[in-house]
């Protein structure tokens, strides 16, 4: 596939707005941005340089080079039906939705009209439509679809500097779960860490003291592996420290204890321990199992 000169974006939520600004920064023309919500459309007008900002799908140009569907998961299939019903040719048009969960099956009406369609999911979090587009440089993207789509998706990823990861359609939910673990649950753990830190220090404590360690661990994971970066009481088989943690957490915030116990149990998979020490840790977990 030749380099895409332009793209149509449907949906001006967080993903659509950030992606639109990023693609523009990479030299692509945003030939149209489609958003039926008036407030989101006004935001898009101020945030994204596009040749047209439209409410109706009929605002999509007659022969778009590519169309990206940046809408909520439950809206993708319905949107595909509406697009396929438009009085225009979809033959050979590159169409992708950006969902991490939904598969290319949601785009079946467009595939039936000859579109080259599938899933093109940026592996990044989008907490706001205003995040710096630098956060999208060099990221990974999950791609899923037939052979023709995968070939064009790889070319598009290369054009914008992303690293494509091919996802098996039947395992799309597992792929999404991996993203949730990496991008969402780490936020939960950070929030719990802050709450526990405040219990030990003061109510106005923030994450700053913990951030160098968090960043160092992430760097080591990238440089070696999760197992290579793993340290601490579970890695040492330090049952006494784990027992002390359990007592402290029971006094301070007992509702966090089940998660702590499961994290210890799961972390044992990364630990290379003599059987005696592993058994000591498992014994501590067994004594505190609900």
pLDDT digits (tens, 9 = 90+) for 38-75: 988 888 888 888 888 889 999 999 889 999 999 999 99
In this structure, whether the domain defined by 6-167 belongs to CATH 3.40.50.720 is answered with: yes
- Of the chain, the percentage scoring pLDDT greater than 70 comes to 99
Q: Which residues does the chain have with pLDDT short of 70? A: 1
pLDDT digits (tens, 9 = 90+) for 156-186: 999 999 999 999 999 999 999 999 999 999 9
- What are the angstrom distances between the C-alpha of 72 and each of 22, 78, 100, 154, 257? 20, 11, 11, 24, 34
Write down the pTM of the prediction.
Answer: 0.90
Tell me the pairing of strands 29-34 and 94-97: unpaired
Where does CATH 1.10.1040 sit in the chain? Answer: 175-288
- Of the chain, the percentage scoring pLDDT greater than 90 comes to 89
| Residue 182 burial class via C-beta count within 10 angstroms: exposed 0-12, middle 13-18, buried 19 and up | exposed
Please answer whether residues 138 and 163 qualify as being in contact, where contact means their C-beta atoms are separated by less than 8 angstroms: yes
Please answer whether residues 278 and 271 qualify as being in contact, where contact means their C-beta atoms are separated by less than 8 angstroms: yes
Please answer whether residues 172 and 110 qualify as being in contact, where contact means their C-beta atoms are separated by less than 8 angstroms: no
Where does CATH 3.40.50.720 sit in the chain? Answer: 6-167
CATH classification code of 175-288: 1.10.1040
pLDDT at residue number 50: 84
The closest alpha carbon to 220, from 206, 232, 205, belongs to 232
Tell me the pairing of strands 66-69 and 53-54: unpaired
Alpha-carbon gap, residue 56 to 53, rounded angstroms: 9
Q: 204-241 burial string, b = 16+ CB within 10 Å, else e?
A: eeeeeeeeeeeeeeeeeeeeeeeeebbeebbbebbbee
């Amino acid at each position: 596939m030749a380099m895409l000169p332009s793209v149509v974006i449907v949906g001006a939520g967080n993903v659509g707005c950030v992606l639109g600004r990023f693609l523009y920064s990479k030299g692509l023309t945003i030939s149209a941005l489609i958003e039926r919500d008036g407030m989101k459309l006004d935001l898009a007008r101020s945030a994204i340089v596009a040749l047209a900002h439209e409410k109706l799908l009929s605002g999509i140009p007659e022969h778009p080079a590519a169309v990206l569907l940046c809408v909520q998961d439950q809206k993708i299939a319905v949107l595909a039906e509406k697009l396929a019903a438009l009085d225009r040719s979809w033959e050979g048009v590159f169409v992708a939705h950006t969902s991490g969960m939904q598969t290319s099956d949601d785009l079946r009406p467009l595939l039936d009209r000859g579109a080259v369609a599938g899933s093109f999911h940026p592996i990044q979090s989008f907490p706001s439509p205003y995040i710096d587009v630098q956060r999208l440089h060099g990221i990974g993207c999950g791609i899923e679809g037939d052979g023709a789509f995968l070939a064009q998706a790889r070319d598009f990823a290369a054009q914008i500097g992303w690293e494509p990861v091919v996802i098996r359609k039947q395992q799309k939910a597992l792929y999404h779960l991996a993203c949730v673990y990496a991008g969402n649950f780490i936020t939960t753990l950070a929030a719990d860490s802050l709450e526990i830190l405040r219990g030990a220090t003061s109510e106005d404590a923030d994450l700053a003291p913990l951030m160098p360690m968090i960043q160092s661990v992430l760097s080591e994971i990238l440089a070696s592996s999760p197992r290579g970066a793993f340290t601490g009481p579970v890695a040492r088989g330090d049952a006494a420290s784990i027992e002390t943690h359990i007592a402290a957490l029971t006094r301070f915030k007992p509702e966090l204890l089940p998660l702590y116990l499961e994290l210890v149990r799961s972390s044992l998979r990364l630990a290379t321990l003599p059987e005696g020490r592993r058994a000591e840790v498992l014994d501590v977990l067994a004594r505190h199992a609900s």
